[in-house]
Structure 1
Amino acid sequence: MPALLAVVYGLWAAANHRDGGPITGGNVLLGVVSGLVFGALYAGLRQAAPTLPRELRAGAWAVFAGLSFGFLCGLTDASVLRTAAMAAAVAAAVFATVFYRYYTRE
């Protein structure tokens, strides 16, 4: 599962950076590196998250989701303020959802 998510994330990052232009070596390299980093961080968080208390676990997933989405949004022509606002909104939504899930399942 982490490998599939990493591939999708890398393709998404490369497509955002390309912005409809031709495929270049830089786009491919960005996609590969982004996918590898995303996959490694995702696998590491999946490994470490069960040892954390529910508040920190929800916070860790929220930070991961916010940063991941913010990076993808930052590759477009969006302003820094819009990128930060959207990443914060995604992180808040993920935190609320994951905290609720962990709080009701423990």
Structure 2
Amino acid sequence: MAHAAPTSGTRPGPTPSTPLPDVFSARTHQIAKWATPAVMGLVYGYWAAANQRRGGPVTGWNILFGFVTALVFAALYIAVRAVAPRMKREMRALLWATFAGCAVGFLLNQTGASVAWSTGMGVVTAAGMFAVLFYRYYTHEDAEGHRVVR
């Protein structure tokens, strides 16, 4: 039985000129644009408040701390998400890595860990995030910073 031989340089799948289909509506994307920071902020605020009370009772000040932390985290996330696409890939990776490192350092600081330990773990987190994000941006963009459709 004869089979067709593969041709060199071609592969099945979408061609670079046809992007992948968008399965969600514009309304779903708009809801997710605001729901993601809100949910992430609430989770982060709860986590920070739980770390701060160290297993003790929930107080009004602890709840206020959690909501303020959630609000600040969500606002910073929205700001970073708005500014990052206009930056070069190195600066974009550095911005997101700094955001992640500061977030981890703050959470660790709320546990009662020393400032040096919290800072060190934040820097380690930021370095790892920078490496991963720079690699992703470098392999998914051309030299001018435009997304490459594969």
TM-score category, normalised to shorter length:
over 0.9
1:99 is matched with 134
What CA distance in whole angstroms lies between the structure 2 residues aligned with 1:81 and 1:70?
10
What CA distance in whole angstroms lies between the structure 2 residues aligned with 1:78 and 1:44?
28
Amino acid aligned to 1:59: L
Q: Which of the two has greater helix per residue?
A: 1
What CA distance in whole angstroms lies between the structure 2 residues aligned with 1:62 and 1:17?
24
Amino acid aligned to 2:62: N
Is 1:67 the counterpart of 2:113 in the alignment? Answer: no
Deviation at 1:25, TM superposition (A): 1.0
Is 1:35 the counterpart of 2:70 in the alignment? Answer: yes
What CA distance in whole angstroms lies between the structure 1 residues aligned with 2:51 and 2:62?
9
Q: Give the RMSD, CA atoms, in angstroms.
A: 0.6
What CA distance in whole angstroms lies between the structure 1 residues aligned with 2:79 and 2:41?
13
Is 1:23 the counterpart of 2:53 in the alignment? Answer: no
TM-score (norm 1): 0.97
Q: How many residues in Structure 1 have an aligned counterpart in Structure 2?
A: 106
Provide, for residues 18-47 of structure 1, a one-character-per-residue CA deviation record: whole Å limited to 9, x for no partner.
100000111101100000000010011111
Return the structure number with greater relative CO, CA threshold 8 A, min gap 6. Answer: 1
Query: Structure 1: which 5+ residue stretches go unaligned?
Result: none
TM-score (norm 2): 0.69
Q: After TM superposition, what 4+ stretches of structure 1 lie above 2 angstroms from structure 2?
A: none
Give identity over the alignment, percent.
54
Deviation at 1:100, TM superposition (A): 0.5
1:81 is matched with 116
